[in-house]
Amino acid sequence: MSAATPGNAVSTGRFTRVLIYVTLLIFALFYLLPLAVMLLNSVKPLSEITGGNMMALPKVWTIKPWLEAWSTAQIGVQPTGLRPYFINSIEIVVPAVVISTVLGALNGYVLTKWRFRGAQVLFGLMLFSCFIPFQIVLIPMARVLGLLGLAGTVPGLILVHVVYGIGFTTLYFRNYYAAFPTELVRAAQIDGAGFFRIFWRILLPLSGPIIVVSVIWQFTNIWNDFLFGSSFAGQASQPITVALNNLVQSSTGVKAYNVHFAGAIYAALPTLVVYIVSGRFFVRGLMAGSVKG
């Protein structure tokens, strides 16, 4: 006799089970196909792509397209490769993620534990910012950046992403902290801890899951952003998404598909890494607000 567990709660026959797994496997392969095509073709010489089958394994393995995409490929007018733009992206993404997460955490802390008149309305307005389409703010934002003297710079892009991200990060942290016992904050107040001390010593150490959610969300969004990058970046501050577009769109001579594939993987790699490293915390964090632990 075995106890009921989630694993045997519904008993399924062997045939059903095989059917389920085969179906799942087919779907998994289907979704992996684009990545596989990109990987395969990025390690082939160009002649094999133009002359052969997209799906075939390379006859000659080469890492030349990867090197070329990284450091010598023609991006727009400069043969710099993607490297400087990759660095630009990191310079934009890291501060933008950190700042928007910290501000979101502080907002969530204030909106739940230091309630003031109008807090609910303010939160509603911040939530509203999550629904504003990017395109609407392009012109006003360009004007603001111009007035601040940040047009075409990395700090300008950081500002744009922080402003756009606060709505989301505030939402995450507010909902997380709403389930956080207020008595803890009161106890810390009586113990003599101030506003920031309570935040730093009590709330933040317990915010692991929601920090991961916020970081993943912000990182993927900002890294993958194309619109703001192409609209507000100058020559020297373009992010990798814009550079990848320039690489692929440059129409001088032959299209080096293998280099394009390698470049695309470079552009997608950091978000993939972030997901793989912290993906399991992501789900845990999303659940944390809804189910009281």
Partner 1 sequence: MGFLDIANVTKSYGNVEVLHKVDISVAEGEFLVLVGPSGCGKSTLLNMIAGLEGITSGEIAIKGRAMNGVHPSKRNIAMVFQSYALYPNMTVGQNITFGLEMHGTPKPEREAAMKKVAAMLQIDKLLDRKPGQLSGGQRQRVAMGRALVRNPDVFLFDEPLSNLDAKLRVDMRTEIKKLHQSLKTTIVYVTHDQIEAMTLSTRIAVMNKGYVQQLGTPKEIYDTPANIFVATFMGSPAMNIVPARVVMQDGAPHAEVRDASGGVQRLRFSQQNLAGWQGREIALGIRPEAITDPEGADRKSGNIQTLTNLVGVTEPAGSDTFVTMALSGKDVIGRMRADAAVVAGQTFEFAVNMEKAVAFDPATEERIAP
- Residues of the shown chain interacting with partner 1 in the complex, contacts defined by CB under 8 A: 181, 183-184, 186-193, 197, 201-202, 205-206
Q: How would DSSP label each residue in 92-115?
A: HHHHHHHHHHHHHHHHHHHHHHS-
Which residue number, 4 or 183, has a Cβ lying nearer to partner 1?
183
Place of tokens 């150490």: 205
**Rg of the Cα atoms in the chain:** 24
Which residue number, 130 or 187, has a Cβ lying nearer to partner 1?
187
Which residue number, 113 or 161, has a Cβ lying nearer to partner 1?
113
Which residue number, 33 or 187, has a Cβ lying nearer to partner 1?
187
160 near 232, Cβ under 8 Å? yes
- In the bound complex, what is the minimum distance in angstroms from residue 183's beta carbon to partner 1? 4
- In the bound complex, what is the minimum distance in angstroms from residue 131's beta carbon to partner 1? 32
Helix ranges restricted to H, the chain? 14-42, 46-51, 64-71, 83-113, 119-128, 134-148, 154-178, 182-191, 195-198, 208-224, 227-232, 240-249, 257-288
274 near 213, Cβ under 8 Å? no
- In the bound complex, what is the minimum distance in angstroms from residue 184's beta carbon to partner 1? 5
- In the bound complex, what is the minimum distance in angstroms from residue 137's beta carbon to partner 1? 38
Nearest Cα to Cα of residue 215 among 157, 279, 125: 279
Which residue number, 146 or 208, has a Cβ lying nearer to partner 1?
208
- In the bound complex, what is the minimum distance in angstroms from residue 186's beta carbon to partner 1? 5
Place of tokens 């993620």: 97
